[in-house]
A and B are shown apart, each in its own frame.
Chain A
Amino acid sequence: MTAIPLQPPRRLVEFTLDGEPVRVPEGGTVLDACRAAGKDVPTLCEGDTLAPKNACRVCVVEVEGARTLAPACSRRAEPGMAVRTDTERTRHSRRLVLELLASSVDLTTTPRVAEWLKEYEAKPDRFGPDAARLNESPKVDNDLYVRDYDKCILCYKCVDACGEQWQNSFAISVVGRGFDARIAVEHDAPLTDSACVYCGNCVEVCPTGALSFKSEFDMRAAGTWDEAAQTETTTVCAYCGVGCNLTLHVQDNEIVKVTSPHDSPVTHGNLCIKGRFGYQHVQNRD
């Protein structure tokens, strides 16, 4: 028996990417083709375990003949289409998206964003000192994870992971409209009064660190969080017979965070409260 489910062979779709012919399996996206061709297209709201929401628009590419730019993460490859990834228009939109986000959201814990800001010569300060920001303070209402919505770019990944794409708990939703839209549970209540089951699968997919383990949040606040000093060990969860893969992030001989490999055929990155947060007994040295 194979651990990787085999799928029927798929036809290949051929199109041109920056003038070069490329082929992706039918149903594949422009982003798949970009990655296969080794092109680095920035992404934020795209997630390897989730259907693309294409809300952030940082991955836009130019499709010949189209009036507007297209999100590479969700535009399916069509035979014969001509796509350009690095034109003045795509660079402009990517730069603006980065500037708009960086001027309104705290992106300090978003991986790679500093590099992209530099690459696209983004200057978030040019909207002036009075540019509106989210101005949210961290919500610490339970012992397991923290919601710091000042860092939220509204990518919808946590909502999708909590809802029908993975957990089916439907504990959170986007609430409000426009710039005032936020992620919240019903009636803006604390998490402890919601349908949250603390699986932490939202934390797993959060691209900006808006959702983080309480342990990580506290260590960052204390200035002791040091990713370079952490080791990652993938093991099997010992709680039940499902056999979920856990990746233990360890710093100074303490487990500080638990994730799961996104390519694990058992979990696809998802865990339950026990695997995700129930590690304290391992560290109990009494």
Chain B
Amino acid sequence: MFGEQQRFVLLLIAPAALLMLLFQVVPIVIGANASFRDWALYNPKKTWVGLDHYHAVISDPAFLYVVLPNTFIFMVVSVAGALVTGLALALLLNRPFPGQKLVQTILLVPLMVAPVVAAIMIRWIFNDQFGIANVVLEAIGLEGQPWLVQRWSAFCIILLTDIWLWTPWFTLLLLSGLQSLPKEPFEAAAIDGTSTWRVFRYLTLPMLRPVIVVCVVIRAIDAFRTFDIVWTLTGGGPGRSTELFSLYAYVLAFLNLDLGRGSAAAIIGGLIILVLGVAMYRLVDRIAKA
């Protein structure tokens, strides 16, 4: 059936293909199967219920009016925030100054911190009784705030944590992008007497655009699936007001032990990321070719 060369090629691909099959395809199939059944630990019959779970999820007001908006707001603000601060830092680090290497190293520290550890640190900083944030506020005569028990302040803290964690990643990639730009157009602009703003607007930004777009797409897809920092900081609370999509699925499946509905939620989320991802990749392609 196959020639010798093709058999050899297949043999080389086989280990990776097998791993993907075992750890990606099979779990997805099992999950998809579960999403069509009443699959709970106390109910061994696993009754086929068709699209009931899907219907329940998309008609759940908590999912529609809290979880989905939260997820999209989180995705947009977190990616935009980290992009802007990351780009600013990258531009700063792109010009030589004394101690530049040291600053560069320090800025990369958040990348080396586990998100859960970072989230625990932040949770203590904003603890309403013992947190340093309130101590500072009270020291300057302001009133301390119950940061993590109000919806929007809690949400902002989640966003800040995520931006803090991901800014270095943007800085690193954008800095390497900046350093790979050709020097001559910038020299031509210097001779032409171009202001810093015009250099940024008409040279740096357009030339860096392909790198920016790739970073944004990768990070946006990743942000959609964020779980760890939210779970550690607020657990989705107060109430369910800071719940993101992955928390929603997790709570359904592993706290409520309703594996069927949890799987259905996960698959809905997966489909949303798929559509979003394809759309964004198309966009990248168009911008890269422009």
Q: Do A and B interact?
A: no
Q: Which B residues fall within an 8 A CB radius of A? A: none
Q: Which A residues fall within an 8 A CB radius of B? A: none
